[in-house]
Amino acid sequence: MTQSKRQVKFGRQIQKDLGQIFQKDPRHYFGNSLVTITGVEMSPDLGLAKVYLSVFPIKDTEDVFFNINEKKSEVRKHLGRLIGKQVRIVPEIAFIHDDTEEKASKMDQLIDNLNIPPAEDNDEEE
């Protein structure tokens, strides 16, 4: 589904503001994991922000999402302080795991492990 310019612009603003919130105290939200906000998708009414997070190391993903979902209302409150004068409603936040990097790594590994025999010369037949 394609997003309107308004949705994209608002999504970028939400991403920037969430980045500021998380940078102030990253251990409070993520523990010792490195987390990147890879994107934000807004609903057409701007009432829901799907925030895509990439987590490193991968083994800590479950813990990070449990912790951030426990603190979702706190994050929304901070977000409301940053964008409250610009919008009527502070959007609900849904944190979603972005596993694009993991999938790309698996694909690279599969390709590296392929056993492709060298091409045969067809010059002898001609």
What is the full per-residue pLDDT of the chain (126 aa) written as tens digits?
Answer: 688 999 999 999 999 999 999 999 889 889 888 899 999 999 999 999 999 999 888 888 899 999 999 999 999 999 999 988 888 889 999 999 988 877 887 888 888 888 888 887 665 555
Domain with residues 5-112, CATH architecture: 2-Layer Sandwich (3.30)
pLDDT at 120: 79
pLDDT at 95: 95
How far apart, in Å, are the Cα atoms of 101 and each of 38, 57, 67, 111, 120?
A: 11, 12, 22, 15, 36
The structural domains of the chain, with segments of one domain joined by +, span: 5-112
pLDDT at 17: 94
pLDDT at 9: 93
pLDDT at 124: 54
pTM for the complete prediction? Answer: 0.79
d(CA 88, CA 70): 25
Query: With contact defined as beta carbons under 8 Å apart, do 56 and 34 qualify?
Result: yes
Tokens found for residue 2 = 């394609």
Can you state the angle between helices 61-70 and 72-83, rounded to 10 degrees? 60
pLDDT at 119: 81
